[in-house]
Every structure is written in C-alpha cells, then in structure tokens.
Structure 1
Amino acid sequence: MNQRRDDYDVVLIGRLGIDLYSDDFGKPLDKAARFVKYVGGTVTNTAIGCARYGMRAALITRVSTDPLGKFAKDYLRDNGVDVSYIKEDPDALMGLVFAAIFPGKDPDFIFYRPKGEVADLRITKDDIPISVINGTKVLVITGTGLSAEPSLGANLHAVDLAANAGKTILFNLDWRPSTWSGVPDEDRIKRYKAVLDKSSIVIGGVPEWLAATGESSIDAAIDSIRGKEKRILIVTRGGEGTTVFYHGNAINTEAFKVNVLKTLGAGDAFLAAFLYGYLYLLKSGWEVGDVLKFASAAAAIVVTRHSCSEAMPTYDEVMQFLRERGEQLHGNAKPRHLT
C-alpha cells in the first residue's frame, strides 16, 4: 500500500528559531565577536535527528516571512523534515538564541523571544490538521508551547486530538524560565498537568520536572504522575547519565565520557534516538538498555560538535561510536527500513 501524505513516524509542534553560537571559545557574550548561524529549537533539533535515522518527521509551527524564516524552512526541507505544515506569518519574528561556548563547561546563552511576536508561539488551532495527528505514530509536545496563547490552545487541542485517536503522546518538558515570565507558578503547573495526564512518554531534566510538577524533589515529581507504571518517564542528568522509569522499573544509564564542547542539544539528540529506538529498534530485537545506550551515544556525539541541528548523528555514526568504545549490545540488528 502506498504511504499517504499524512503518514508519519513523528509529528512535532513547537519551537523553531535561529541559534547564533559563538566561535570565540572561552569568551563571554560581551566579548565574543564571531558567531555561526544555525537552525535551532528543541523540537526542530529532534525532528532533524529523527530524519537522520530515516524516520518520517513533520513539524507544525510558524516562521517569519523574512530571510531568517526562509533560511529555517529551507534548512528543514533540505534535511528531510516535512515542512508542509509550517505557516509563514508576515507579522512574526524568528526567536533568537545567542550562546557563548566554554569548552567543558555549560554555555551562557540569551533567548530573544518577544512575546506576541515570536513566530512559533503564534500557532493556532487552525494550524493543526486533524488528518496529520490521526496519521502519525507519535505526537511530540513541549513545555515552551504552553507558555503563551495562542500556542497554548493549539497545543492542548493537538493533545486532545492525539489522545482521542489513541496516539502516543511524548511530552518534552522543555522549561525555559524566560519564556514563562509573568505566568504565576500555579498557572504553569496547571498547564503542564493538562498535558502530563495524557502523555505516554515524558522527558526532562531535574529542574524541568520540578517546575512542571511543583514538587521539591525528583522522587516526589515522579510519584506525582498519575498512572506512572503505565508510562515511560525519563530524567536526564547531563554528565551524570539518565534514569528511565520504564513501566514501573527504574533503569539507569551512564553518560559516555567525551571531550565536551558544549552541552546544548544533548537532550534533543537523546530524544530523537530514543524515539527511533522506541519505534524501530525494539521491534528489531533490541533490549531497552541497548536503546538507552544508543540514545546516550547520540547525545555524547552532539556535545562534541559546535551546533545542535547540524550535529545530529546518523544511525551509522552512533553505531561506530559504540563500537569504538567496545559496547556490547544484546540486540544490534539493523532495522529493516535501513537495510
């Protein structure tokens, strides 16, 4: 049977912007003079990562009609992401991220996302095609998309459509404090809970879990998730590795030791690889622990590279990384769609 236009492995909704990363390593933003322009944004990086693994990914968002919007949309198209549902908005601006790179340390970065003007927060319910939600295996939603209207309503609408259609909903907590300025804590927690209650898979760092749930510890945050035994809950801890609560069982995976250039993009790479494992590797005889190693390897590769979007690895690159470190996988059959 021929694949319909709206048959996707993953449909993602949310942040598409421009990353400007310093090429003057070790210099703070007020001293750095040279920057490299990339396409960026959590779901954008994840979408590109999914496409690198041969998955069919589509992004629902908005872009400006200026050259930056064209650059972003063209880059996604050229890298295998379906841009059919990216609307060009003449009244919008692209969000910007400036980052200073300190090798081996966390970067300093500044978000420029003017409320009411940043393109990806201007999506509406009308931007969400029902056929696309019905035709995907996984819907990816982020916390940033809940931070302001009309994006909030659009995201909640998409979640309702996906839940009613029995789709897997993956919630990337993606908490950026600057994007939530002016929103009371109780409102933020209420918005997060509305999506948490309907999500099959949730991923975030410790601060994100605490912000999303209002709890004071990661254990309490995990315990607060209703029906947690039936969900996949992922806690990323940077260089300390990852803890995955997989249908009630806690699985710890160590981070690979590499020469870190910057930490940005690691979570996005992990998520793309995990999605690939969830949809394909487990069906090819891999075990859950192997999938987590694969995802951790993808994250390790990205932190050694300057960009986030361009740094997303392929299946062969991840497998080569694992072989070079002598990692033994219980299941290493190459998925059928890659053979």
Structure 2
Amino acid sequence: MLLMIVKKLSPQGGLRLNKNGIISLGEVIVDMISKDKTNKNFQPFLGGATVNLAVGVKRLGVNSFYLCKLGTDETSEFVKESFNNEEVCLDYCTHSSAKKNCKVYVHQDQNGERVFHSYINPTPNEWLTENELAKELFDKGKIFYFGSGTLFHETSLKTTEKALDYANETNIFVAFDVNIRLKRWESEEQCKKTITSFLNRADLVKMAEEELLFLTESKEINEAIEKISKYNIPYLIITKGSAGACVYYDGKALCVPGVEVKAIDTTGAGDAFLAALLYCYHEKGRPNTSAQMEEFLHFANQAGANATTRVGAL
C-alpha cells in the first residue's frame, strides 16, 4: 500500500529544482531494546531519531546526507557499515578516535509498551563542531532537518545554530522535530527554554500532543495551540499516535486519522511519519491545496503505522 502511495505522489510533472536531498544533523544512537518485560535482556539496534529519518527518506528514494561525528572503534564500524548498507551518505561526517556511540535503553512496561529508560553517552564532549560543518552541502540540499537531540549540549547547540545559518543563507526548507527526551536535559526549564527558542527558525515543526502541552504549559490542546501560535510556524504538525495527526497552517487546521495495524513495537513510528512527510515536501514542494496536505498526512500516517509492525526503530 505504501509503495502505491509513493507512486501516486511522484508524477513526472512534480517539483524539480536544482537542489536535491535531505540533510539530517544529529547523533548516532544504539538502541538497546528490552526483549521482554523483565527488562534484563536487550537487543541492539541502530537508532536515534535523526538516524531513523535519514534511513527512512533514503528508503523512499530521496538522497540522504547525515551529519555527525563518528568514532573508529568496532561499534562505530558497525554503525558506518549499517549506514552504507542503507546508502545514506556519510561523506560530510567527521571522525574521532575518542568518540564512542551513545546508547539508549528502552524498557517494556507491563502492557508491553516501549518506555524510554536511560540515555548513556560515554564521550559527552565529542560532538560535531560548527567549524566542521560543510557549507557546500547546504548549497546542494533541498531540506535541512534537526531535532532537540542536538540542543542540550553547548557544542552541538552552536553547531545547530550554524547549520541553521547556512540553511537560511542557501534558502532551503527547514524541519524541526521537537522529540523531547527529558533525561538528556539538566532541567525541564532548560529544555523548554531551549526548544522554544528554535520554533521560529523552522518552516515545519513536528511534536506530539504531550510535547505541545509541556512546552506551552497548557492543560488542553486548544489553549496550547493558541499559545504556540505566537511563533508563527508555517507548518505545525501535531502527532496523536494511532489516532493520526493534525497540521496547523495558514490559519487553518486539518486532522487526518491514523491507519489501523497490528502494532508490535512503536519505537521509531514518529520518525517514520516525519520521513514520509518530508519525502512529500521534497518531491512535491509545499502543498498547494487542503486536499494535497491531507494526502501528505495520510501518506505519513501510513508510514508511521507500518513502522510499528516490526521490532526496532528502523
């Protein structure tokens, strides 16, 4: 079904500019996912929101460029081999012998749902620096994507700001996934303040309902939408899990229901959703009508639903 929608969204007469490809800035994470509810046995998966998106857009047929700092140890070689197998371009990454990959431990609760448990970074000061960013990549890319995983550390925060400067100078579409993981932040206040400072620097911002309520300190959605409207986000995407997603743009609101599947593992569903949505923007440009916007969201919902039918973020 997903392939059929891809074909529908990619007519010969679609938007074709000189720029091409989606640039993802982030950090490679190895997801250690619990095999059962005892949360004692774990299986490793290549993960991290920006990794999931970079792989997702490439699987949909769009050139994908990943920006990060990589190590040289055995785990890093596994990461590079995995990226190469997915044909994601790592040519603009840097390497450091001191760099070790981050790990995230994902537990199962009593209902079998995946729960983020802990984040471990063995080399907290090894990040891609602003001086290591390749400006020429922004001259060729069509979309730049980043998440909050590059904002909680001072070095990566500055790198993200520089990348956004390059994106602005080269006039490419910017997408921001809020994707809050509070265990990475020093405090809730620091998290809110930092993330909200980036909301007006993106053309498209995606967040879950609970993230919207958290950032706006609201108790219900309408209140939260009113508060966040001051940031003038061109496309605000609010995901609602299996219930689907809503988009707020041009003073309008459009909600599209989710796609029913037999879910096994919800890890990475939001990343698959956004990968599919950015695929649509890359191939078709900004939606011209409500019908086209609905088509984009339906396609993204389908991709997000498909991602839950197998174990692992990819």
State TM-score, norm by structure 2: 0.85
8 Å Cα contact 2:242-2:305 kept in structure 1: no
Change in Cα spacing, 1:159 to 1:217, as seen in structure 2 (3 Å) is: farther
Correspondence list, 1:1-339, <5 A: 8-24=20-36, 27-30=37-40, 33=41, 35-101=42-108, 105-114=112-121, 117=124, 119=126, 122-180=127-185, 182-183=186-187, 185=189, 187-223=190-226, 224-226=228-230, 228=232, 231-281=234-284, 287-309=292-314
Contact (CA 8 Å) 2:71, 2:95: kept in 1 or not?
yes
Amino acid across the alignment from 1:265 = G
Q: How far is 1:104 from its partner? A: 6.8
Q: Deviations along 1:256-280, whole A, 9 cap, x unmatched? A: 1211112111100000100111222
Q: Identity across aligned pairs (percent)?
A: 25
Distance in 1 (CA, whole Å) between partners of 2:169 and 2:198 is 13
Q: CA RMSD in A?
A: 2.5
Residue 19 of structure 1, CA deviation = 1.4
Letter in 1 for 2:131: D
Are the aligned partners of 2:143 and 2:282 in contact in 1 as well (CA < 8 Å)? Answer: no
CA drift at 1:220: 3.8
Question: 2: distance between equivalents of 1:118 and 1:41?
Answer: 18
What is the letter of the counterpart of residue 88 of structure 1?
A: H
Distance in structure 2 (CA, Å) of the matches to 1:266 and 1:68: 25
Cα gap change, 1:113/1:217 in structure 2, threshold over 3 Å: closer, same or farther? farther
Which consecutive residues of structure 2, in runs of 5 or more, have no partner in the other structure?
1-17
Rate the CA distance shift 1:225–1:128 in 2: closer, same or farther, 3 A: farther
In 1: Cα distance, 2:271 partner to 2:263 partner: 16
Residues 206 and 236 of structure 1 are in contact (CA less than 8 Å); yes or no, is this contact kept in structure 2? yes
Confirm or deny: 8 A CA contact 1:8 1:58 kept in the other structure.
no
Aligned counterparts of 1:174 and 1:201: Cα–Cα separation in 2: 14
